[in-house]
Amino acid sequence: MKVIGNLMQKSHIAKLAASLALSAMLLPGIASASALAQFKSFVSSTKSAKGDFEQELLNAKSNGANKVGSPSSKSSGTFIFARPGKFIWTYKQPYEQLLQADGETLFIYDKDLNQVTIKKLGDALGSSPAAILFGSNDLEKNFILKEGEAKDGVEWLEATPKSKETTFAQIDIGMRNGVPEIMKLQDTLGGTSLLTFKNFIKNPPAPAGGFKFVPPKGADILKE
């Protein structure tokens, strides 16, 4: 039963990241700007980025943009992305898993199972949390953006997907010094997940090998 539980947890996080499927350089003149101003400046000036992330899945519903429930699980890793639709999202703890997209196709690699799941990136990226980091600059096409309340030096922005065909009801984005510091994802079933970003570096060099995915030797390949 423990193995089944772990697999279910991994599957849930993988789906979240997939629908997300994540700067150390301060943007001059916007440190105290509103969340919307910071966010628009970030989107227009950031073609790529990399950094570290921590993710928490929460049991209880949250009440407001800055209150959360009790953490049910935690994970962490690294990310690098290039717009639009190219990214490498790597879970390192508590288990190793890779989500990688080349702009057209999403690859999910589970190291424990030595299994690769292949999906079309398609239009699903547009109204998902992933669009905020990995998508095009035209976010207001897919989201209704609204200022939230500032707290502890973080300016909050509320993003509500326009599409009804999404698993997320609202995405809250916490901006500090011109880059996203935290994202709170509320799904349509009442669950909440937190993503915290660290060591955020804007417009770094492309990774070696670009974003082309090469399946590990001997891995099982599943297409959806």
- Domain boundaries along the sequence of the chain: 35-56+73-223
φ/ψ of residue 48, rounded to 5 = -155, 165
The H or E element containing residue 174 is: strand 168-176
End-to-end CA distance of the chain: 26
What CATH number labels 35-56+73-223?
Answer: 2.50.20.10
pLDDT in tens, 164-201: 878 888 999 999 999 999 999 998 888 899 999 999 99
220-223 and 115-120 beta bridge pairing = parallel
**What pLDDT is stored for residue 167 in this prediction?**
82
Q: What is d(CA 41, CA 140) in angstroms, rounded to the nearest whole number?
A: 14
**Tens-of-pLDDT digits for all 224 residues of the chain?**
433 344 445 555 455 455 544 322 233 333 447 999 999 899 889 999 999 999 998 864 444 444 444 445 899 999 999 988 899 999 999 989 999 999 999 999 999 999 999 998 875 566 677 777 887 767 788 889 999 999 999 999 999 988 887 888 899 999 999 999 999 999 888 889 999 999 999 999 988 889 999 999 999 999 98
